[in-house]
Amino acid sequence: MKIRKIVTHVEEIHTEGGRPVEPAARIAVVAAVIANPWAGQGFVEDLGPGIDATASDLGRLLAPEVLRALGAPAQAYGKAAIVGLDGEVEHGSALIHTLKFGDHFRRAADATTLLPAVEKRGGAGTVFDIPLKHVTDPTIRSHHQTVEVRVSDAPHPGEILVALAAASRGRPQQRLADLSTEQ
C-alpha cells in the first residue's frame, strides 16, 4: 500500500437551532490517500489479490486513528471510498466492502452493524458526504447523520481516498419519534 497523505477532520458542534449542545457533539473523520492498487492495469477481472494486499492494512491503520480523533466512544459510524478519475468506483468498493476492512473498526468500536458508506469517483477536491448510523442498531433514528468532507488535493486520477467516520452521539437536537412508535 502506497500512502500519500493522511487527513484528520474533527467537528465539534456547540450550538444547533440556536440552543446549546452539551456536551458538544463530536464527529471525526480520518482519511488515507493511497495509490489505486489497480492503476494502469486496464480492466482487472479479479480484484481479490489487490484487496488482500490492501484492505486489511487500511482498516488496521484507520480504525484506531478515527477513534483517537473522536476522543469519545463511537455511537455512530460510517466509511467512504473516493476514487480518482482514472479508476473505477468498483476499485473503491473493493477496498471498503470487505470484512477485511470493516472488522477492524467494528472490533475497535465494539460495533456490530454494517458500516454505511459513500463510494464515488471524483477529481481532487471533490466534496463527499459520509453517512453514519448507530454502531449496534441501524434502526435507531436519532443517530442517522452525515458529515461533509473535502480534501483539497485528493484524490489524484490514480489514487483512492479511503475514510472512516465516527460520531460521539446522535444528531445534536434529535427529536424524531422512534421507529417502533410509528404505525
Judged by CB under 8 A, the stretch of 16-24, 82-90, 110-118, 157-165 that binds another protein is 16-24
Helices 48-70 and 89-96: angle between axes, nearest 10 degrees: 70
Cβ 3 to another protein shortest distance, Å: 4
Cβ 108 to another protein shortest distance, Å: 20
The nearer residue to another protein, 107 or 120, going by C-beta atoms, is: 120
User: Does 48 engage in binding with another protein (CB under 8 A)?
Assistant: no
Cβ 111 to another protein shortest distance, Å: 24
Cβ 110 to another protein shortest distance, Å: 23
- The conformation of residue 177, written as its DSSP 8-state character, comes to P
User: Does 9 engage in binding with another protein (CB under 8 A)?
Assistant: yes
User: Does 123 engage in binding with another protein (CB under 8 A)?
Assistant: no
Residue with cell 404505525: 183
Burial state string for 76-110 with b = 16 or more CB within 10 A and e = fewer than 16: bbbbbbbbbebbeeebbebbbbbebbbbbbbebbe
User: Does 73 engage in binding with another protein (CB under 8 A)?
Assistant: no
User: Does 2 engage in binding with another protein (CB under 8 A)?
Assistant: yes
Q: Which residues partner with 27 through β-bridges?
A: 11, 167
Question: In angstroms, rounded to a whole number, what is the distance separating the alpha carbons of residues 21 and 38?
Answer: 45
User: Does 22 engage in binding with another protein (CB under 8 A)?
Assistant: yes
Whether residue 37 has a cis bond before it, omega within 30° of 0: no
User: Does 5 engage in binding with another protein (CB under 8 A)?
Assistant: yes
Among 52, 137, 148, 178, binds another protein (CB under 8 A): 148
Question: In angstroms, rounded to a whole number, what is the distance separating the alpha carbons of residues 169 and 167?
Answer: 6
Q: Which residues bind another protein (CB under 8 A)?
A: 2-16, 20, 22-24, 127, 148, 150-152
